[in-house]
Structure formats: structure tokens, C-alpha cells
Amino acid sequence: MRKNNKTFPRQSWTFDEYTNSEIRRAAETGIYDIRGGGSKRRLPHFDDLLFLGASISRYPLEGYREKCSTNVILGTRYAKKPLELEIPITIAGMSFGALSGSAKEALGRGASIAGTSTTTGDGGMTPEERGQSNHLVYQLLPSRYGMNPDDLRKADAIEVVIGQGAKPGGGGMLLGQKISDRVAEMRTLPKGVDQRSACRHPDWTGPDDLKIKILELREITKWKVPIFVKIAGSRPYYDTALAIKAGADVVVLDGMQGGTAATQEVFIENVGQPTLGCIRPAVDALQDLDMHRKVQLIISGGVRNGSDVAKALALGADAVSIGSAAMIAIGDNDPKWEKDYNKLGTTAGAYDDWHEGNDPAGISTQDPKLMKRLDPIKAGKKLSNYLKVMTLEAQTLARACGKNNLHNLEPEDLCALTVEAAAMARVPLAGTSWIPGINNK
């Protein structure tokens, strides 16, 4: 309201409402902010790309009649039993401990109905998720919490985790309130202590060592299952090249929108690269080593719908992985718990204090009362519905581009809405043939 010839009160762009609240919070508590999830800032993303569709020069496929294949085989390089999935959308690693047992079960159920894989996390493999997951990827993390050779041999693939997009170069911490009796037993820790996850593996340090570590894992599992190597979107060209050199069957590349159970806000928002900026350098590495489509590339970090899937595949990925989106599908941040979110000082859609274990949706908690709120069967069905919708959407876009297989999508099917996205994805800015950094037209 303008009064007495004064100008309107003007808020600072630099010191906006959120920034000021964080300064006040830091001043009150003396500790940095810890939260779950991935980067929340506006980043160049798949939304900044568009499909061109078919025209005179391209011939479209009939939407409801002509087939568009979606299946993908992961681990064709060395594994005797590669992972054969019906759709190119996998469920990312999320630990039992960070998530409740019923949430892990729901993820397994949903993934199995949809014909895809789910992944363990820090803390080992639970019978619930092994029992409900037709395809289960077992993570080998620096902490090795719950790492058990019997479980290793039960896995359909092994994922050596080197980094997460939310925190490249960072470890993790599961606060004591989530270390229940069961979580403590699985991780060989006293109940109630903060569980620290190391940022480096305890028995290897560089790419030459990693090669030997992968050899050991293959020998233990008799060369049957694929070995994935998961890297954060840090230096995607070199890290992908080194993972290939070390013998990976599959490279999983997680951009900075990829979520975590808990880490520092400053880490999540200021370390790593956006998913969109990671894909082409990784594909470059694969192509330079003549390994594109021989070593498969899985992209994760902010994948939300079939459009994102199709765009990631068009840029050269073989599959995508979802974590945060899968949690939302099974009930995370559902507005039906708004009153409970308000009690925690937040609102549906913004709740990210997953490490505190008070999740009203019963997903990122070990509280028995809250866990009962999640029905793993119903939640699993929701996840499978969501995965099917994503697949249908991706197929729709691929057919419109004249492709009878999602993996036939290519960068030439895309244009960009912004100069930044054009440069990162290396596709022309809409209305031009200009690809920043590639040509000057």
C-alpha cells in the first residue's frame, strides 16, 4: 500500500524471505540445516527441452496401434544373467532405516508389477524387499552396513555406490531417533546413536583399486550378475570413463536433483551438476570408448514423468531411475496429512525433514504408529500405476517422433527453450539451428 508519497516496501532479491529465515535459524541454533531430498532451486532441466515431433521429413507411428518397445537389458558386457526389464525406469537405492520396512515393501511390489527393478540402500537387504522384488539391485556402499555375502548372492545385480547426486563427495548420517532395534541390529550399531556413513570406501581408493574390487564381487557371485557403478553428477565424462575402465556393466549417473535421506542443505544446493548437464558428457565417454549401448547408462535426478524419461533416453541414456518421484507416488508429502505437516512447521509438498523420523505419511520413519499409515499393497499398486503412466507417456512421445522403440529416440528429436539447456543438451535453441558451444549459426 502506497502512503504519504512513499514507494512500496521492497523486498530484497538477495535477502529473500527464505534466506532471511535461514539466517535467523542458524543464529538461533548454531548448526547447519540438514534435510532430505535433492536440490530445490530452479535448474536447467528436462522442462527446458521440447520434442519436435514428426513432420514431412519424419514419419509418425499410430498412437494406439503401432508397437513402441520399452524393454531394456542391463549388464550385457560381462554378466551371465543380465537384468532384463520391461520398462526403462528403475527404482533408485533407498535404505531400510531411512525408509520404513513397509515403504521398502511397497517399492518392491510396485516395481515388480511394472516389470522393473528396485534397489537396496545403506543398511542391507530386508526380507520384505527381497520377497517382493522380482529384480533387486544390492548396493555396496562405503559403510558396508548390513553387507552380507548371502544377500549378495541373492541379488540380481550389484551396485557399487561411489556418489549420490545430492551430495557428491559426501557421506551421510542417520540420526539416532531412526536407529530402532531392528535398524541397529542390521547395522551392528548401538540403538539410538547417530549412524555415520563414510564418504570413502574402506578398502579401495582409486579407479585401479575399483577394478580389483569389481573383480572380487564378480568372483564371489560367479560372474552371474551385472555390476553397476553409481556416480554423482560431478565430473561425468571422466567418472563415466573410469567406471567403464574399471569394468562396470552399467553406469548409474545421479544429477544434483537426486534425493538423499539426509545431508546438509548447503551441500545439496551447492555441489554437483544438474542432471541435464551430466548426460551428454557421460554419453561422450561411452562413445569415445566405443561402449555406448554396450555399457548401459542409467540417469537419475529429478525424473518425474514420461517426458523426462523420453528426453533422457533421447540424449543417450538406456534407462532412468526414480527415487523422490517413487516416494511421492506411494504417498510422500500427500496433502491428506496437511494438518500433521502443519504441526511439524511445514506443509505438504515441502516436507523434507526425513531424517527426523516423524513422517506423517509413514514412509521415512521407523515409528510403528506412523508406519501403520502406509499400506504396502495399496502403495505398491499406486507405484505400479505411476510407472505405467510414465511408460505410456514416453511411448506417446516416441511414436510422435516416429520411433518404434524408446531407445531409438535421439538428440535430433529435440530442441531447447533456453540457451543454457541448448548448451547442456547440445540440441538447437528453438527456432534456430544454434547449439551453443557446437556451432555459431
Partner 1 sequence: MKLDLKKLKLRKVNETLQSIDPKRNNKNYTILNPEGNHAICVGLTDDIDITVKGHVGYYCGGMNQNANIIVEGNVGTGVAENMMSGKIHVKGNASQSAGATAHGGFLIIDGDASSRCGISMKGIDIVVKGSVGHMSAFMAQSGNLIVCGNAGEALGDSLYETDIYIKGKVKSLGADCIEKKMDNKHLKKLDKLLKKANLEKLKSKDFKRYGSARKLYNFKIDNVSSY
Binding site for partner 1 (CB under 8 A): 29-31, 143-144, 147-150, 152-153, 173, 175-176, 188-190, 192-194, 196, 198, 202-204, 209, 212-213, 215-216, 219-223
Residues pairing with 139 in the sheet? 159
CB of 31 to partner 1, least distance (A): 5
Q: At its nearest, how many Å lie between partner 1 and the CB of residue 270?
A: 19
Our CB check for partner 1 shows the closer of 113 and 147 to be 147
CB-count exposure of residue 357 (10 Å: 0-12, 13-18, 19+): buried
Amino acid identity, residue 152? L
Element (DSSP H or E) covering residue 202: none
Pick between residue 181 and residue 216 the one whose CB is nearest to partner 1.
216
The conformation of residue 61, written as its DSSP 8-state character, comes to P
Q: Give the shortest CB-251-to-partner 1 separation in angstroms.
A: 22
Helix (H, G, I), strand (E, B) or coil at 373: coil
At closest approach, how far in Å is the CB of 33 from partner 1?
13
Give the Cα separation of 132 and 149 in Å (integer): 20
In this structure, what are the phi and psi dihedrals at residue 353, rounded to the nearest 5 degrees?
-85, 55
Buried b (16+ CB within 10 A) or exposed e, 115-142: bbbbbbbbbbbbebbbebbbbbbbbbbb
| Closer Cβ to partner 1, 203 or 412, answer by number | 203
Bridge partners of 232? Answer: 254
Instruction: For partner 1, give the closer residue by CB, 16 or 209.
Output: 209
CA–CA separation, 259 and 396 (whole Å): 28
Q: Give least dist CB 291 to partner 1, A.
A: 23
Residue 144 or 182 with smaller CB distance to partner 1? 144
Task: Please state the closest distance from residue 235 (CB atom) to partner 1, in A.
Answer: 25
Of 26 and 392, which has the nearer Cβ to partner 1? 26
Beta strands, E only, 313-354: 319-322
Residue closer to partner 1 by CB (options 213, 292) is 213
Q: Which residues contact 8 (CB under 8 A, 6 or more apart)?
A: 1, 2
Q: Report d(CA 425, CA 47) in Å as an integer.
A: 12
Nearest to 282 by CA among 367, 273, 175: 273
Kindly state the smallest distance separating residue 188's Cβ from partner 1, in Å.
Answer: 4
Cβ-based nearer residue to partner 1, 151 or 269:
151
Angle between helices 306-314 and 376-400 (to 10 degrees): 50
Residue 217 Cβ, how far from partner 1 at the closest point, in Å? 9
Q: Determine contact, residues 405/318, Cβ cutoff 8 Å.
A: no
How far apart, in whole angstroms, are the C-alpha atoms of residue 141 and residue 214? 13
